Structure 1
Amino acid sequence: MPTDGGGKVSLADLKGKAVVLYFYPKDDTSGCTMEAIDFTAAKAKFDKLNAVVIGCSRDTAKSHDKFKDKHKLKVILAADESGQVTDSYGVWVEKSLYGRTYMGIERATFLIDRTGKIAAIWRKVKVAGHVDSVLQAVQAL
């Protein structure tokens, strides 16, 4: 997938590292911002465990650049504009707000081990305390 800063990211290129792939609905919204800031604050801990943190939404790479600059984020932000990745992970779901249904990204995190297998999944994530739970799971790999 394309990433912020004009880069690209592929799980195949990250073999040998643990990967925290977290899906979030939209750049620069309150919950998504808090989650990205929490992952950024813990980045050094993930780095010490040889783990890469990637946030993914359907926003553009250009939108990710603005989001990262505004909040001084240090994690990789991947742009799934086609929706192929969010579909394949099953996080593009029907949501409801004020009685109206719509399609959107379910906040979810996947921990992929060093061999490329999914080691843990968190669905319908509540942001508070989530990064600590993920960090503990990475330490247990």
Structure 2
Amino acid sequence: MTMLEGTQAPVFSLHNEKGEPVSLSDYKGKKSVVLYFYPKDLTPGCTTEACGFRDAHKDFSDLDAVILGVSPDDESKHVKFIEKHGLPFSLLVDIDHKVAESYGVWKLKKMYGKEYMGIERSTFLINKEGIIEKEWRKVRVKNHIEEVLNYLRDKEE
């Protein structure tokens, strides 16, 4: 597992759910970017995680943090996910998983005796200088959003 903490965040330009280009540099000057990678729209764990970020969105905004979700799903799946759950942040399309690879989260996974490549649920906190300040790998959804929020709050003190 490659540790990226303390290094410059890999730059990217992906399309969001509206087909608009979104780059990490678009958020230069924001205190923090919470970039979270998740396996698939409209699945139980990913829905729980997205709704957790949704429910804490105001708290993140109050700390000048923007939330961006990334998965290999296309724009239309992202739109359905956003509309069904009222997500107030953008979901980015990484169909070719190049950005996931650059962050080291495109991994060999095993389920029911089968092996396949997919996203290892991970979150990266990127500061206003574009440095990865904190990373959470192999995320378990329960309490994860609170953990990220608490880390941001502790930085404020």
TM-score, with normalisation over the residues of structure 1? Answer: 0.96
1:51 is matched with: 65
2:22 is matched with: 9
Unaligned runs of 5+ in 1: none
User: What are the superposed Cα offsets for residues 42-96 of structure 1, whole Å, 9 maximum, x if unpaired?
Assistant: 0001111111000100001111001111111112101111211011001000000
2:115 is matched with: 101
| Aligned-residue CA RMSD (Å) | 1.0
Unaligned runs of 5+ in 2: 1-13
1:1-141 alignment runs, 5 A limit: 1-17=14-30, 18-139=32-153, 140=155
How many aligned residue pairs are there? Answer: 141
TM-superposed CA distance for 1:7, in Å, is 2.6
Please tell me whether the aligned partners of residues 24 and 56 of structure 1 are also in contact (alpha carbons under 8 angstroms): yes
Deviant stretches of 4+, over 6 Å: none
Q: Percent identity?
A: 49
Please tell me whether the aligned partners of residues 31 and 127 of structure 1 are also in contact (alpha carbons under 8 angstroms): yes
TM-superposed CA distance for 1:8, in Å, is 2.5
TM-score, with normalisation over the residues of structure 2? Answer: 0.87
Taking the aligned partners of 1:125 and 1:75, their CA distance within structure 2 comes to 20
Please tell me whether the aligned partners of residues 36 and 75 of structure 1 are also in contact (alpha carbons under 8 angstroms): no
